[in-house]
Structures are given as C-alpha cells and as structure tokens.
Structure 1
Amino acid sequence: MENTAAPIAPALDELVPSRYALKVGDVEVLVISDGVLPLPTQMLGHNVPAADRAEWFEEMYLPQDAFDWALNVMVVHSGDRTILIDAGLGMDPDLQLPRAGQLIRRLGAAGINLGEITDVVITHMHMDHVGGLLVEGVKEQLRPDLKIHVAAAEVEFWKSPDFSRTNMPQGFPDALRTTATHFWAEYSSYVHTFQDEQQIAPGVTAHRTGGHTPGHCVVRVASAGQALTFAGDAVFAVGFDQPNWHNGFEHDPEESARVRIALLKELAGTGEMLVATHLPFPSVGRVSLEGETFRWVPVFWDF
C-alpha cells in the first residue's frame, strides 16, 4: 500500500533571520532587527532632483516610490554589563507600521530577559530609537537600577524641538514629539546625561556627534585590538555613494553631512566594523575609501 503521509514541518513564525552574533575582541555583540519601516524614497535625498534619486534607486534595484528601511539595534555584553543600544520603534497603531516594533519579541527569542539589561544607550530620541521602551508591560520588567544614557544636548532639544529643516511625511513630526514626551515622562528618573563622551562599560563608549539631532551619538565598542561603531542615524544606505544628500529626518542637514563624511573617513582609516540603524540587516561591514568615494563592504556572514 502506498504511504501518502508526509512529515509535518514545524510552523515558522519568521522566514528570515532577525539576529546576528559576533565578537569584538572579548566583547559579545548581538545585532537584532526591530523590523522594517516603509518610507518614501525622497527621504534619502530631498535636496537633490527627483531624477538623481531615481537613478540611484534604479542602480540599486530598489523601487522608485517607497522602500523598506531596516531598523537595527544592538545588545552588548561587556564585563558584568548588558547594554541595549537603542530600543526600536515599539508599537504605534496610528502610523500603521505592522512590520516594525519587533524588538521585545525578538529579545525574548534570543534568550535575553529584560531584567538582565543594566544599561540602555539612546543614540537620539526619535521614536524608532526609544519606542520599544514604551511598549505596554516593558517598564515593569526592567530593573529598578537601570541606567539610560542620553546626551544632555538631546534632552534639551526635545524640550522644544525644531522641525523647520526636516522633510518628513505627514504625521511624523507630531508622532516624534509625542513619543519623546512620553519617553521622558516614563523614564526621566532613569536617565543619566553626558556632554560629549561617556564610558558605559569596559570598552563601550558613547560619543556625541550632533547633526541628525543636536544630541545624536554613536557608540564605539573596542576590545583586544578590534573595534565596532554603532552609528545610529549618522549613516544611511545612500550615504556611501552620496554623503551630501540630505535625509528627511535630519534636523541639521549640513551638519549631518559633515558628521557623516568625517565618520566614514575615520572608519575607512581604522578599518573597524560599522553597524547602523538603517543599513540592511545585519548591517555589519566596513568602509572603503577610493579617492573621495566611499564604499560599504559588508562582512561575510560567519556561522
């Protein structure tokens, strides 16, 4: 008799990887995807003609109207500290972004208990970097001695934020204001501010860059002669080919370009690794400089 039965495969919640582990010297790093955020293509270069943007998107085999921005965060284990760098978007039903805001679930899938986190570094207070802390039930799971590190200039900026130089889709400025206000109301007692530089743990240091927002910072992880910089929103996918293109979320576009170029030159010189919030997951790579042209060199995945 013919056996027509077939083994039943376990259901898969996700068909793509959402975390990537690596070591920087003796420091353990985990890049986690918070999902993706669909946005208009003009957000990557609103200061240039539409034809120039269209050419770049065509060369990159990307759609012309809107595309998915990656949302990446990092977890760093250094000594007895477990550090979360940025907290993702959280869940904002008014913005209808169902494929974003996955961080809390994916931390659990990675075996990371929220109560283990000793420190959070917020690169800046845009909603896709603080929103995960505002998900219902999260605050109750965090440890009472949690330290949230934010540049003092960032805290000051969000008391009366200026959106006059940005170029965002409708609804985003109000959502950003509301989320920053909500974050401060919930977590101000946890916040530890710094001026220009703050060591978070052995080999883990936050550096204020400004530009994208006045208090925007990057986080450098260095150990045993190796290094990695989490660049937050200082670098976007188009920024290697066109570092002077203005991103719609930049509060000071010219300063953002200067910060971006300086950071890319530094990383090209040192050869250290780069991770950024909106580079395609897992966004781990290096920067090559040929003349005045930057090139992103993704790492080969290591299994």
Structure 2
Amino acid sequence: MSVVTNISHPTKAASDELVPSRYSLRVGDIEVLVISDGVFSLSASTLATNVEPADLSAWLTARLESVDEYKWPLNVVVVRSGDRTVLIDSGVGEEFPDAPRVGKLIARLDAAGIDPASITDVVITHLHVDHVGGLLSEGLRSRLRPNVPIHLAAAEVAFWTSPDFSQNTFGGFPDVLESAESRFVDMYRGQLRPFETEFEVAPGVVACCVGGHTRGHSVVHIASGGDRLTFLGDSVFENHFDHPDWHNAFDHDPEEAVRVRLALLRKLAASGESVLAAHLPFPSVGRVAVNGDVFRWIPTPWDY
C-alpha cells in the first residue's frame, strides 16, 4: 500500500484567510502541494444528466446537500521533483468575475511562498476553462518564466480544433469552454508540448492520456521510493464513487467517460495508492475501496 507523508512548506507571505487553502504531502522523495483555487456554484443537475431528478435529489439529500445548487471544489497541484517544479492545471483565473470565491490560485501561490517564476513545467489535464483559466490571467502569466513548456495530450489539442458538443449539455457553458480553449491555444501555441500516450515531466511524475472526460484528458501518476499517488483531474467527481455510471454534464463522451472512470477506480482500489482529484472536497487526498458493485471514497486523515 502506498504511503504519503504530510510535510511543511515555508511561507513568504502570511494569509489572513480563516480556512486552510493548501495541503502538503510527500510521495517518497517528491513533494506535492494541493492548492484550493476556491469553490464555485453550479446547478446540481450538472452532476448527472442521465438519471431522474428525484434520484439525484435523493443522493444530495442523503449527504445533507442542497438539491438545487452544488458547490464545486477546485484543486490545483504543485509538484517538486528533482530540480523541477511542476504546476498541474491552473484554476479559473478571472474567467468568472461574478464568482468571487474561485480564481484564488495566484494569491495562494504567494501565500505558500511559491514564486511562479520557479515553475519549470506546466501540465494541463484538459482544456476546460476551470483548468486553463488561471494561465489566461495576466497576474499569473506575467510572472511565469518565458517559454515555460506546457505539456498536454496531443489528442486534446486535436479535439479542440473542431470540438463536438453534441453528446452532452455542458451545463449551459459550451461557449465559455470553447472561448477559453481558443484563447489559451492562441496565447501559448509556441509553448505547447503535446505527447501521444504518456510523458515523464519530472523524475517520477508522468502525465498519461486516458481520455474519457475529454478525448485527450490526462491523469498524472507520481511515484517515488515505493510510494504512489495519482491526480485524476476530472475523471472522477464526488458522486461517482456511489454512481460511477452517472454522466457528468461536462463529459464530452459520457459513455467513454464511464468506461475510463470504472477502469481507473478498479485499478486504484486494487493498488491502494493515494488519490487526488480536481473536484473532490479539499484537500482531496484519499484512497478508493470497492463497496459491493460500486466504490467508497476514504479520505486520508489530515496529518499535522
């Protein structure tokens, strides 16, 4: 079974926030920092587009959550391995000005004492706005080192040259998704480093194209000294442990997303390794267990 250990990071800037916004751990010799970009609210119906509203409401009610509004956590990851500092995804940046509780990455990098100029590589799991929006913000972009390489799956770039929005609702946001992707590719075209199947970004840090949520969606495997952790991006949402067959409103190919999700959850349950994900409640560190025909999420106790 994989073991992760909590570590401390020195901070250069204090934060007056009343809730924690970062959580650090170690995977072997690799340092991992989970940073909350905040939370944003969407209609709860975006969680499942292929079930009866009453079934979704029952799931939410059983968790004492609103049946109308779902507050989506958004997690970004910074990994330090060898002489590389890797930013995985970038949050929403300034793309949702009417959502003041999200888009916090740059302030929280500062609070964690991480200079954006120290970032040697960026990995983008997929090109949705809540994963590339931070890089569209001048506040982050202007502080990155010039020509920092941005790694993503070639299939993801190819899909967005002519995106197909015919298979799902996209929560009413297809125009927002396409606009952010187009601006991102135009802005960073010369820095994109597409890979076909997988790419080792830093020692023990491997981006792997699995598809599903989007055609070129990637996960990131982190391994060192016998310890393992996987960042799932948007492959799994909170309701998918109980209902892995529920279609998320932002799955581009819902049936393929289910296939990929089940394969990942079975593999993670068998390995017992640690897991992070973009939209699980912060800090999203935990493990997956089999629970009959479905699964169970086991959060890792906070280690101080």
Please report the TM-score for the alignment, with normalisation by the length of structure 1: 0.94
Alignment of 1:97-112 (within 5 A): 97-112=99-114
Match of 1:165 in 2: 167
Range that drifts further, 73-82 or 36-45: 36-45
Distance 1:179 1:246 in 2: 23
User: Identity over aligned residues, as a percent?
Assistant: 56
Match of 1:79 in 2: 82
Structure 1 residue runs of 5 or longer lacking an equivalent are: 1-10
1:201 matched to 2:206: no
The DSSP-based 3-state class of the residue aligned with 1:243 is coil
Look at both structures and tell me which one has the larger radius of gyration over its CA atoms. 1
Distance 1:283 1:40 in 2: 22
Range that drifts further, 97-106 or 230-239: 97-106
Residue 137 of structure 1: how far off its partner (Å): 3.6
Residue 165 of structure 1: how far off its partner (Å): 1.1
Match of 1:8 in 2: none
Distance 1:153 1:12 in 2: 39
Range that drifts further, 23-32 or 142-151: 142-151
Contact 1:286 1:296 in 2 (8 A): yes
Contact 1:72 1:278 in 2 (8 A): yes
Residue 137 to residue 16, structure 1, CA distance change in 2 (3 Å): closer
> Residue 233 of structure 1 aligns to which amino acid in structure 2?
D
Residue 67 of structure 1: how far off its partner (Å): 1.6
Distance 2:15 2:188 in 1: 35
| Deviations 1:15-65 (CA, angstroms, capped at 9, x unpaired) | 111000000011000000000120111111110001100110011111010
> Residue 252 of structure 1 aligns to which amino acid in structure 2?
D
Match of 2:245 in 1: 244
Contact 2:170 2:251 in 1 (8 A): no
1:283 matched to 2:284: yes
Structure 2 residue runs of 5 or longer lacking an equivalent are: 1-13
- Number of equivalences: 291
> Residue 136 of structure 1 aligns to which amino acid in structure 2?
E
- Of 50, 61, 66, the residue aligned with 1:63 is 66
Distance 2:295 2:171 in 1: 29
Distance 1:269 1:46 in 2: 29
Structure 1 segments, 4+ long, off by >6 Å, are none
Match of 1:180 in 2: 181
Contact 2:75 2:277 in 1 (8 A): yes
Alignment of 1:110-259 (within 5 A): 110-170=112-172, 172-259=173-260
Contact 1:287 1:296 in 2 (8 A): yes
Aligned-pair Cα RMSD in Å:
1.2
> Residue 279 of structure 1 aligns to which amino acid in structure 2?
L
The DSSP-based 3-state class of the residue aligned with 1:263 is helix
